[in-house]
Structure 1
Amino acid sequence: MTAALTAPLPDTLWAASLRRWNTVCWVLFAAMAVGLVTTAPPAGNKYTALALLGCVVVCYAVLGRLPGSRVVGAQVYLSVLVLALGGLAYLGSSYAALFMVTLPHYWMFGRTPRASMAFLALATAATLAGSSVRQGWSAEFFGETLVSTLIVVAVGVLIGLWAHSVVAQSSERARLIEELERTQARLSEAHQRQGAADERERIARDIHDTLAQGFASIIVLAEAARAGLSADPARSAQQLRSIESTARDNLTEARELVASAQQPGPGRQVPGSVAHALRRTLDRFAQDTEVTVDAELADLDCDQQARIALLRCTQESLANVRKHARASTVGVVLTRRPYAVELEITDDGRGFVVETSRGFGLDGMRKRLAELGGRLTVTSSVGDGTRILAVIPTADEAEEA
């Protein structure tokens, strides 16, 4: 019943409940006024009692019209109600009916349970004081008025405290629900930001592994072709053809990136052989760099994501050989193990310190393989070449995991 000031109910539900309660109160106020008119106390007492009841009714009506000053209005209304009950008890005119009708108001309009109890205690004291002045310290006062008033007040207190605990629990639940909704909204926003960041990282990784490597090859080939135009025209022509082929491959890769961005999701995972794509990449690398390539490629069927991951690892590894290793021989072995597919790429270049490497390419390869449940192992030391091992679990192993 304290919910008039802190109602956790939805606004529409609370407004409907309050309108029903107001209707009941107005009907009871009207019945009390009729009762005062139809009873036969002295004429002066009748008008005084009607005036006191009118003050209560006016304050109650004004209270419903002043939502902006509801707290102050509630205190004024309860104060007038206490005085009216004391006056009606002194006049002996329907004070008991008004006391029972307005008993819930102390809990509805009190700011706190303590304030509600204080106003209820004042109303009880005023009622008993008015009755004692009218009746004196008689047996009728102690036998009927005092006992009945205290019983009604005790029942009202118990009901009010119970209602307050229910409303407090409802308010706490409403607060927790609101906090949960805010947390869910923040979590959803965080997921959206993380999804956008993951997508940007994926696109950056694809661009690095495809377009950037292709443009780097085009630049190297173009510089070599320009330098050999006069000394070795045939070689320059071959390099120009490689530039054209690389540019076409880059255009194809760009179109595939655009298509994958327009159609998110894994799509159809059509099994296919990865050896053919690796062979084309290795032949192009050997032709452009004149590095000897020894390849042992098993004819394996992999899903599209695994094929792309193995191809990207190969392209990145060959790009590192081209830019950093100064190797004369590269070995590539593609095999199937009982529960995984392994791709091993070695070179006899100058090597590097793995712990100090912070390249985007190696990190991109690790993340690409990790998305498929695989792993990347890099073994190298200065002067001893480099070994890169990419492992991707097969479907059977992934299902068991």
Structure 2
Amino acid sequence: MTQWQQPGDRPTLDRIRRWNMACWILLGLLPTAVAVLDESSARKYGTLGLLVLVALCHIVVLTRPDNPVLGRRAYLAVLALVLGATSYFLDGVAALYMMSLPQFWLYTRAPRDAVTLSGAAAVLAVFGGAVGQNWSPQFRTGNLVVTVVAYVAGAGLGLWVHRFIDQSNERQEQLAAELVSTQEELAAAYQRQGAAEERERLAREIHDTLAQGFASIVVLAEAARAAADGDPERCAQQLISIEQTARENLAEARVLVGSVPKGAVAAGSLAATLRRTLDRFTQDTGLTATAELPDIDLDQHTRVALLRCMQESLANIRKHSGASTVGVLFSASPGVVELEITDDGHGFVVEDARGFGLDGMRRRLAELDGELTVTSSPGEGTRVLATLPTHSQDRP
């Protein structure tokens, strides 16, 4: 089966065949039937019978293409014989032959078959007409020339159309292959991007939870060791804080590996969670803290983002600021919620900061259409302001 007769093209090919049959009957069979009416009874009825026979065969092949008795090649052989016999009765049927030429291309599987069968039909038509006219010179210069020209032109046009369709199909297959390749590359790129984003998310979560917890445990352990001999009560308090921090880290680890729902993080009142976090911070560090933490109803993703920002800010104050007092202000206005953390430490140049923590906070807030503003200068303390919109309660 040729590329232009693939099973996927069957509906289109059937429509073309039906249109060709209509044109063949109207412009080929009917004019021939009218032309034979003036002939003798034998020629008239013989020609009409042949025309009816080939028309019925055409209908059978068109409606039942898989007919085991009358296949397409058998039908084309019958058509060639009818053309030869009709040419004998009418002394040439060049017009009917021209109208029949497309069928040799529509009902064959290869161009070679179409050229061979249409050539055989041309020979039979010429031979039948020549016999019918007793080889007269008028036939050789009339129907012979027209039939031969029609055959050559039909073969050339058919080969050109077949080549054009083959090239179009090859181009279509090439484009389809390129499309599949592009889709695979795009899918792989999305997969790589997703993996990179997931690694970045896990790194941020580990930094904001487990890493901070372990850093607290290290600081508390050092303080407990220093107070072990001189201040047993202080040492015991530090050990309790170490135990609490370790338990919290264990809970965070379970959240990260998916053994408990992510909703377990920062569930309930955000003000209460921030207050507990700040109390733990002052208990561990001994710094003075002031806070205004009204109870504001927020969605889960906003609560988690603000809690992580506060945890990271307090961790930075503990490790880098050298501050003595810390202030936390939590407020809300129409459509916006803000969390501000300030300290009176030695400050830093914001433009020179390259830490993972600040960048992680900015990315976390940006995912929720929020922003992080850090204001600081050497000797002037630091102000961290996290701003988030509150218009959406259903975040992705």
TM-score between the two structures when normalised by the length of structure 2: 0.67
The structure-2 alpha-carbon separation of the partners of 1:139 and 1:213, relative to structure 1 and needing over 3 Å to count, comes to same
Asked if the contact 2:348/2:377 (under 8 Å) is kept, the reply is yes
Among 74, 79, 83, the residue aligned to 1:27: 74
RMSD of aligned Cα (Å)? 4.7
Asked if the contact 2:298/2:393 (under 8 Å) is kept, the reply is no
Asked if the contact 1:352/1:381 (under 8 Å) is kept, the reply is yes
What is the match of residue 197 of structure 2? Answer: 198
Tell me the CA shift for residue 147 of structure 1: 1.3
Asked if the contact 1:209/1:316 (under 8 Å) is kept, the reply is yes
Tell me the CA shift for residue 144 of structure 1: 1.8
Query: 2: CA distance between counterparts of 1:383 and 1:344?
Result: 19
Among 363, 377, 382, the residue aligned to 1:386: 382
Letter in 2 for 1:323: K
Indicate whether 1:177 and 2:176 are aligned.
Answer: yes
Among 311, 317, 320, the residue aligned to 1:315: 311
Between 1:142-151 and 1:383-392, the stretch displaced more is 142-151
What is the match of residue 148 of structure 1? Answer: 147
Asked if the contact 1:330/1:348 (under 8 Å) is kept, the reply is yes
Asked if the contact 2:292/2:330 (under 8 Å) is kept, the reply is yes
Q: Deviations over 1:157-191 (max 9, x none)?
A: 44554454455444434433333233223222322
Asked if the contact 2:208/2:312 (under 8 Å) is kept, the reply is yes
Asked if the contact 1:8/1:167 (under 8 Å) is kept, the reply is no
Query: 1: CA distance between counterparts of 2:368 and 2:7?
Result: 50
Letter in 1 for 2:208: D
Query: 2: CA distance between counterparts of 1:298 and 1:335?
Result: 7
Q: Deviations over 1:293-328 (max 9, x none)?
A: 111112111111111111100000011111111111
SS at match of 1:201: helix
Among 342, 350, 357, the residue aligned to 1:361: 357
SS at match of 2:342: strand
Query: 2: CA distance between counterparts of 1:190 and 1:158?
Result: 47
What is the match of residue 24 of structure 2? Answer: none
Query: 2: CA distance between counterparts of 1:268 and 1:239?
Result: 26
What is the match of residue 285 of structure 2? Answer: 289
TM-score between the two structures when normalised by the length of structure 1: 0.66
The equivalences for 1:2-401 within 5 A come to: 4=2, 24=71, 26-27=73-74, 104=105, 138-259=137-258, 272-395=268-391
Query: 2: CA distance between counterparts of 1:33 and 1:207?
Result: 84
The structure-2 alpha-carbon separation of the partners of 1:21 and 1:179, relative to structure 1 and needing over 3 Å to count, comes to farther
Query: 1: CA distance between counterparts of 2:156 and 2:373?
Result: 75
What is the match of residue 58 of structure 2? Answer: none
SS at match of 2:2: helix
Q: Deviations over 1:66-101 (max 9, x none)?
A: xxxxxxxxxxxxxxxxxxxxxxxxxxxxxx99x969
The structure-2 alpha-carbon separation of the partners of 1:141 and 1:263, relative to structure 1 and needing over 3 Å to count, comes to farther
The structure-2 alpha-carbon separation of the partners of 1:9 and 1:193, relative to structure 1 and needing over 3 Å to count, comes to farther
Letter in 2 for 1:384: E
Asked if the contact 1:292/1:328 (under 8 Å) is kept, the reply is yes
Letter in 1 for 2:226: A
Asked if the contact 1:8/1:170 (under 8 Å) is kept, the reply is no
SS at match of 1:255: helix
Letter in 2 for 1:342: E
The structure-2 alpha-carbon separation of the partners of 1:326 and 1:248, relative to structure 1 and needing over 3 Å to count, comes to same
Asked if the contact 2:373/2:385 (under 8 Å) is kept, the reply is yes
Query: 2: CA distance between counterparts of 1:193 and 1:31?
Result: 64
Tell me the CA shift for residue 6 of structure 1: 7.8
Which consecutive unaligned segments of at least 5 residues does structure 2 have? 12-64, 83-96, 128-133
SS at match of 1:295: strand
Asked if the contact 1:5/1:108 (under 8 Å) is kept, the reply is no
Asked if the contact 2:4/2:162 (under 8 Å) is kept, the reply is no
Query: 2: CA distance between counterparts of 1:377 and 1:102?
Result: 79
What is the match of residue 66 of structure 1? Answer: none
Asked if the contact 2:4/2:169 (under 8 Å) is kept, the reply is no
Asked if the contact 2:270/2:296 (under 8 Å) is kept, the reply is yes
The structure-2 alpha-carbon separation of the partners of 1:268 and 1:30, relative to structure 1 and needing over 3 Å to count, comes to farther
Aligned pair count reads 326
Query: 1: CA distance between counterparts of 2:7 and 2:261?
Result: 45
Query: 1: CA distance between counterparts of 2:313 and 2:173?
Result: 58
Query: 1: CA distance between counterparts of 2:195 and 2:386?
Result: 27
Which consecutive unaligned segments of at least 5 residues does structure 1 have? 14-18, 36-95
Query: 1: CA distance between counterparts of 2:290 and 2:184?
Result: 55
